[in-house]
Amino acid sequence: MSLAIMTSGGDSAGMNPAIKRFVEYAYEVGETPYLIYDGLEGLIDDKIFLGDLRDVDDIIYRGGTILRSSRSKRFFDIEYRKKAYNNLKKREIEKLVVVGGDGSFRALNQFYHDFQVPFAGIPGTIDNDINGTDYCLGVDTALNVIRTSIDEVRDTAYSFRRAFVIETMGRDSGYLAMVSALSAGAEICLIPEVEPDFASIKQRLSKDLKEGKIYIIAVVAEGTEQGKYLTQWLEDELGVESRLTTLGHIQRGGNPTVFDRLQAFEFVTYAINGLIAGRTNDVVVYKNSKYGYVPIEEVSSQPSDPRLMLNQAYLKEVEKLSM
C-alpha cells in the first residue's frame, strides 16, 4: 500500500516531527510513503514525491513544515478534486494522512465521499480548537513562545511601572490566552468565551495599585478584539501608562518542544495503524491522556470549548482574571 502525507492550513511546530515519523514508520511497516508539498494546492498541482529517509533526516528540530502549506479555494470545485484524485491514482496512492485543522479535515472528508480515498486526520493547530481532542500539535511550543515573551515584557513593565497588554493568537478560541495568563501570573485575561466585567476589574486592580502594585500584565485573545480598547482603558480608568504588544505569527514558529515531538510520534503512529486496519475518515485524538479515533462528522459538529480543558480549580482562577 502507498500512503501520502500533507500539511494544510496554518503551520504549527510539531508538523516536521510528524513528517519524519510518517516516512520512517511507513517504511518500518512495509508501506510506501509519499510527500505532498503545498497542501491542497499541491495535491491539485501534482507536487507529490516519493518520501526518502534523507528528506526527513534533519527536520525534527525545525518549526513550521518542510512540506509547506496553503489554503485552496480551487479544492471546492469538483473538477480540481478530480484532478487531485488522478494525481494520486497514477502513483497508486491509496490513503492519506493530513496534519491540519478542521477545515482541512472537512476538505478531505469531501474528497473521501467523492472518490473513496480514506484519510486519517492529525490535529495540528496552535488554536487548540478542534472538537474531540484535548491537544493539537504545536500548542505546547506556542505556549512556551508566549510564556517567554511575557516574561521578557515583564522586565520593562516593572522598570517603567507600566501596564502591558499581550495579544495572543487563537482565532475565536481563548485557549492560548487562558493558559498563558494562568501560567504567567497575569492580572487580566480576556477570552471570547467569558464576558468581562470591567467595573470589577477596575475595583480589584485599583485596590492592588493602592497597596503597592507597580505594573500590570494583561493577556487578551485576538478573538475578543479588545486589545486596543483594554490598553486605552487601563490608562483612562486606572491611570497606568500602557502598551499593547501583539505577538502575531512568532507564536506559530519555533523549535518544537519535547512534548510536541512526542505527540507527533504518537499521532502519526495511530494514523498509519488506523489506515492499515481499515479506518476511513477518522481524526486521531488525544483525550483524557489517551489516544484514539473520532469520526470526522463528530469533529466537525461543533468547536472545542477551551474551558473544558482546564480542571475546575484552574478555570476558577482564569475566570477571576476577567472580573
Q: Is 303 a residue whose pLDDT tops 80?
A: no
Q: Is 126 a residue whose pLDDT tops 80?
A: yes
Question: For helices 258-276 and 139-160, what crossing angle results, to 10°?
Answer: 160
Q: Between these two residues, 317 and 141, which has the higher pLDDT value? A: 141
Q: Could you state, in order of their start, the residue ranges of all structural domains in the chain?
A: 2-138+256-302, 140-252
Torsion of CA 294, 299, 303, 308, to 10 degrees: -10
Q: How many residues are present in the chain?
A: 323
For residue 304, what are the β-bridge partners?
Answer: none
Digit-coded pLDDT (tens) for 60-114:
999 999 999 998 999 999 999 999 999 999 999 999 999 999 899 999 999 999 9
- Model confidence at 313, pLDDT cuts 50, 70, 90, reads confident
- Model confidence at 166, pLDDT cuts 50, 70, 90, reads very high
- Intrachain domains 2-138+256-302 and 140-252 with the same fold: yes
Which one of the listed residues 38, 102, 127, 140 is annotated catalytic?
A: 127
Give the separation between CA 278 and CA 144, rounded to whole angstroms. Answer: 37
Q: Is 127 a catalytic residue?
A: yes
Q: Which CATH architecture has domain 140-252?
A: 3-Layer(aba) Sandwich (3.40)
Give CATH for domain 2-138+256-302: 3.40.50.450
SS3 state at 14? coil
Cβ atoms of residues 122 and 271 within 8 Å: yes
- What pTM did the predictor assign? 0.94
- Model confidence at 288, pLDDT cuts 50, 70, 90, reads very high
* pLDDT score recorded for residue 309: 82
Side chain identity at 63, as an amino acid letter? G
Digit-coded pLDDT (tens) for 167-219:
999 999 999 999 999 999 999 999 999 999 999 999 999 999 999 999 999 99
